[in-house]
Structure 1
């Protein structure tokens, strides 16, 4: 008999899902026949299981609360009144904590992504004048150099390079063509309707067009686990979405550096042309070292491998920003981690199921609430906000339609149902958008740029992206979650059923 109480683990090469133990009733043998007693035993077992689960959840959150207060006390004692309850750093910490709590509550109550509650927490905190991260540009700018390293590094550890080589046409077309179509459409409509400069339009488009794989990746894995679908959906979504993200981060960095950094025109053009290629080459070279370093017999093999990719990514991010080579670091992190994961897989570590992947997941869990909450504090409701948002809603509708039509067309080898599923997963915009949208405002504030026109462009960029996050994230999640089981059907299911019946 199959042991159904054992936890099930599903390895799809991208994400690992650990299913909860199946709640089943043990077989009971009675010398006295009584169905009533059996039912009572079943009910008691259910009550015991529920009680154990509730106790575990309570203790989990109690421990986190205890650690939070202990950390606050430590910081207060170490750094003085700046960390007191009315100090300078207390408010950002409180907003991040509230964002984490409300995000968890939203997810438990509705299954929606917690980032929605986090960004709303930030918007409320700003508009009740409790926190404005524009007054914390140094710390916010510092964190926005770290966020991409964690996000991009986490995703690329799951890339299967063999799959990408075999299916490069499908991955490249789905990753590049919908993105390009949306960027061009957005820039054109922004110029036409809001008199937005073309260069700023492409800057906005490079963020706006990014798909958010981490939001739906667990759902995609859950929907496809253990099914014969004729397509490795987690890898297709992960790698094509990663290509889309690489374009967003790289192109944004290049255009942002071109706009914000002064210098010789010839150098600016050379840097713009070479940034992405240099990033990819540097990332592959650093990642290739993972084949030899550290040595397989090193006593600290696991720790050194994790530090190798994390510190390498952080170094690339800070150095390239220092010299104005925006976009280079993001591409380097993607190339480095994908290459390193490829070599580690040959040495026995599973893709995205190894200590390095675990380290990135822990770091992302820690920074995600703060990222969305702090991004929300840049959203300010002003006199012209209503007009911009109405125009923005129309632009979002058109851009999303163009994006999905192109995605539907480029997947012509798939069935109609499968192409519709791709469209569902290509709706959400959230993570890259949240990371990059305040970068232009921060840069102008740090430079002390008095140009009100540039500030207005940066405000438009910020508002339109926050609007896109709030609208597309829940829609994309709900469409994928509810339509996915209908759209994805197993191949040869009829043949399998006939075999079983015979």
Structure 2
């Protein structure tokens, strides 16, 4: 028999055959039990091999920390708690991905449980300064992704439509929430607007993947709706983060009224100046013909983003750091697209996406871990939830009105309105910043209590709106949007998925191949649908 020959040549005995995957591949019509049995055969393969690799890596990382830090890596130590949080969030995200809800919900819930459930509350052992620093680093990754994700060509196409959808709903919701917070929660006006801008951002973590899914199904692409919403989502976050940073800086200013009035515009000017200067600098440094160009550009933009975010916070201009990082990534991207990279061949997106996979469980886990159940028992929680829904109602109404004047029918306008519902990434990123800043500034107990309430409300807004928004987009897209007149969208997507994967692997290896950089044939899954329509 052929199988016997293979056994003898490989030195295996007949007893091993029932355990070897190569001899026991299931048929196409095999049942669940046969496929499950095959998944655990040797050598490890498929998802089982992936999880074994992750578990071994996790054990090795923990062992390294224990060898270096000793008790800090044992139960009750800071590093042990951080590692448990990360691993638990990764597992929770994998489980939630099997449902229609976004994976960030699992991470938030795990972080909350690891702080508040007795006997497993290892999250209480995480050092607050470490948590603050790690959240800030994750914020830098988000800002760089948001800035580099703004495609100038796409923005030119949607122009004022994207700006209208980004600006008016954001500002109106921030104002409505601020008025409610001031009169019902007794927040000072500055802190009321801090919370308003935290609430006013739409979530790219929910909207962008959902819109890519809508594109891949060929829904609304003839009208350019997914492209419009992806662009408007990024601009909306820029407005919300900028407003948040400026108002937060004014909240901690102890100078006179005139200085406070000019502090916000000054912070805006400083952030824009830093972003433009450093972004233009990266057009020429490193040189476009350098070896490992992608690696050097990634290191430079990340290093400057960290410097801006942490440095301007020390200089009492925290908003300038976030705004400067956003603008830096955007301006740098403009030059990189003109100097070799293109909108369809923009490899740093793949690197940032992989970085986000590392920092996403850390960020959302730490956010959930920052909320204590004692705060949720506060009498202000009901007012906060009511404020969230009132602000959402105002936001959705303004979004619907802002869609008038565009060439969309009533159903498409309703879909655009529903798409502006979810909140997640920005709330997770900037929600804790007010509390971290208050602690660093040695603020009064009243100010720290207000900042804690803002963080608690931000987490509640994620838990409420993220699943509603994700489910709303997925369920209403087939009903409210027209199917593309093209019939080969799915074939285009399937044919290009493998090319996209190979292209990102090529770039991640740091190879600077001019012929590859100038190639116009390989495009991403999302770009092929956008550009062809």
Matched, 1:163 2:154: yes
Alignment match, 2:449 = 456
Contact 1:215/1:477 (8 A) holds in 2 = yes
Question: More displaced, 203-212 or 186-195?
Answer: 186-195
- Cα deviations by residue, 1:308-353 (Å, 9 ceiling, x for unpaired): 2211211211211110112212222222222222332334434375
Of 469, 479, 504, the residue aligned with 1:476 is 469
Contact 1:137/1:446 (8 A) holds in 2 = no
Alignment match, 1:18 = none
Runs of 4+ aligned residues of structure 1 deviating over 6 Å after TM superposition are 45-54
Contact 1:100/1:369 (8 A) holds in 2 = yes
User: Relative to structure 1, is the Cα distance of residues 50 and 381 closer, same or farther in structure 2, using a 3 angstrom cutoff?
Assistant: closer
Matched, 1:488 2:488: no
Question: More displaced, 323-332 or 121-130?
Answer: 121-130
Instruction: Tell me how far 1:232 sits from its aligned partner.
Output: 3.1
TM-score, normalized by length of structure 1?
0.83
User: Relative to structure 1, is the Cα distance of residues 353 and 67 closer, same or farther in structure 2, using a 3 angstrom cutoff?
Assistant: farther
Matched, 1:380 2:378: no
Contact 1:212/1:431 (8 A) holds in 2 = yes
Instruction: Tell me how far 1:306 sits from its aligned partner.
Output: 1.5
Instruction: Tell me how far 1:262 sits from its aligned partner.
Output: 3.7
Contact 1:183/1:209 (8 A) holds in 2 = yes
- Cα deviations by residue, 1:203-247 (Å, 9 ceiling, x for unpaired): 101111110012231221121237373333343222211121112
User: Relative to structure 1, is the Cα distance of residues 278 and 232 closer, same or farther in structure 2, using a 3 angstrom cutoff?
Assistant: farther
- Alpha-carbon separation, structure 1, partners of 2:115 and 2:369: 5
SS at match of 2:149: coil
Contact 2:375/2:453 (8 A) holds in 1 = no
Alignment match, 2:386 = 394
Instruction: Tell me how far 1:479 sits from its aligned partner.
Output: 0.5
Of 246, 265, 290, the residue aligned with 1:298 is 290
Alignment match, 1:26 = none
Alignment match, 1:9 = none
Contact 2:170/2:200 (8 A) holds in 1 = yes
Instruction: Tell me how far 1:95 sits from its aligned partner.
Output: 1.8
Alignment match, 1:251 = 243
The count of residues paired between Structure 1 and Structure 2 equals 453
User: Relative to structure 1, is the Cα distance of residues 194 and 265 closer, same or farther in structure 2, using a 3 angstrom cutoff?
Assistant: closer
Instruction: Tell me how far 1:76 sits from its aligned partner.
Output: 1.1
Instruction: Tell me how far 1:460 sits from its aligned partner.
Output: 2.1
- Cα deviations by residue, 1:82-113 (Å, 9 ceiling, x for unpaired): 112332321122122212211211112x1311
- Alpha-carbon separation, structure 1, partners of 2:142 and 2:409: 32
- Alpha-carbon separation, structure 1, partners of 2:284 and 2:78: 46
Alignment match, 2:421 = 427
Of 202, 205, 208, the residue aligned with 2:193 is 202
Alignment match, 1:440 = 434
Structure 1: runs of 5+ lacking an equivalent: 1-39, 495-502
User: Relative to structure 1, is the Cα distance of residues 350 and 493 closer, same or farther in structure 2, using a 3 angstrom cutoff?
Assistant: closer
Matched, 1:181 2:169: no
- Alpha-carbon separation, structure 1, partners of 2:247 and 2:125: 22
- Cα deviations by residue, 1:410-456 (Å, 9 ceiling, x for unpaired): 1111221221111221111111111222222233334444x332233
Alignment match, 2:204 = 213
Alignment match, 1:20 = none
Contact 1:291/1:344 (8 A) holds in 2 = yes
- Alpha-carbon separation, structure 2, partners of 1:92 and 1:465: 22
Of 395, 404, 407, the residue aligned with 2:399 is 407
Matched, 1:127 2:120: no
TM-score, normalized by length of structure 2?
0.78
Instruction: Tell me how far 1:293 sits from its aligned partner.
Output: 2.6
